[in-house]
Amino acid sequence: MAQNYAHGNFSHTQKNTRNRGGGRTSVDRARRTLSQNFLVDRHAVELIVKAAAPEGLVLEPGPGEGVLTFALVDAGARVVGHEIDPRLAGRLASRTRTDPRIEVVRGDFTAARPPREPFAVVGNIPYAVTSKIVDWCLRAPELTSATLLTQLEYARKRTGDYGRWSLVTVESWPWFDWTLGDTVGRESFRPVPAVDSAILRIQRRPEPLVGDRRSYQELVELGFGGTGGSVRASLKRRHPDVDAALEAAGIARDTVVGHVHPDQWITLWRRLHH
């Protein structure tokens, strides 16, 4: 099934494997097939724009009907929207053809080549491909920030809000700060989805916190790939002197790897690679 980013400003897309069609219109069938849930709360759009503080070039996955797009340009941004739904892409392109601040690209956002100039990503993104979009953002050399409306659970997991830290966050922490923003309730969408959403802010740091990406990420992957459940058991296989590093980082010997704060990983790396 085709992926969709057509929820953009006032829509939120989730993958749905069922499409009965029935007596629905073509628009109804598209919404069901592409799992479009449209954001009807203008205050939520204002929260996204406030969190993003847009300026310069902004890429928007799934601009849909353009409500967030117009809010971004009103705030001072130049927006390139990537819309995979041809119906919505055509409609938005027609509405914005005379506005030099807006460009509509028809196609899959995650297949696009990142710009060679500094840019931000802002969007209300589909739950089903959230990880794919985030990975694209983290790999883009000129990305300055990503402000994304995601499933609440995803945003909480990535920002350590459950008291645990994920591999994706820890591995990228020296280069990106992850922040949990405002919650957007499910009642802000039509049709109403099963879960709430939240604004996730990923911002590139002015300077990396470590000097060698490869050795840091190898250390983190060793820790998360572990044995015995504890970070000590995982790291001791390759680092016999890990106990001194754990003490320096303030990590108890029996600490589960997911409970190690990203800043503590920085200390571990410094002690074990210097």
Domains located in the chain, CATH noted = 30-204 (3.40.50.150), 213-273 (1.10.8)
* Lowest-pLDDT choice from 103-107, 188-192, 198-202: 188-192
Q: Is 23 annotated as a binding residue?
A: no
Please give, one letter per residue, the 3-state secondary structure of 128-167: HHHHHHHHHHHHCCCEEEEEEEEEHHHHHHHCCCCCCCCH
Q: Give the sign of the dihedral formed by CA 93, CA 8, CA 80, CA 96.
A: positive
**β-pair type (102-106, 12-13):** unpaired
> Predicted confidence band at 24 (pLDDT cuts at 50, 70, 90)?
low
Are the CB atoms for 149 and 199 separated by under 8 Å?
yes
Q: Is 219 annotated as a binding residue?
A: no
What is the predicted pLDDT for the residue at 133? Answer: 97
Is the pLDDT assigned to residue 171 strictly greater than 70? Answer: yes
Q: What is the mean pLDDT of residues 136-144?
A: 98
The DSSP code for 189 is E
d(CA 14, CA 125): 9
Is the pLDDT assigned to residue 18 strictly greater than 60? Answer: no
Q: Is 107 annotated as a binding residue?
A: no
d(CA 150, CA 94): 28
What is the predicted pLDDT for the residue at 128? Answer: 86
What is the predicted pLDDT for the residue at 29? Answer: 53
> Predicted confidence band at 7 (pLDDT cuts at 50, 70, 90)?
very low
pTM value is: 0.88
Q: Is 258 annotated as a binding residue?
A: no
Is the pLDDT assigned to residue 125 strictly greater than 60? Answer: yes
What is the predicted pLDDT for the residue at 189? Answer: 80
What is the predicted pLDDT for the residue at 126? Answer: 85
Amino acid at 132: K
What is the predicted pLDDT for the residue at 211? Answer: 95
pLDDT cut 90: percent of the chain above it: 76
The residue among 244 and 2 whose pLDDT is bigger is 244
Is the pLDDT assigned to residue 2 strictly greater than 50? Answer: no
The residue among 87 and 14 whose pLDDT is bigger is 87
Q: Is 225 annotated as a binding residue?
A: no
Looking at every residue in the chain, the average pLDDT score rounds to: 88
Are the CB atoms for 38 and 63 separated by under 8 Å?
no
Q: Is 108 annotated as a binding residue?
A: yes
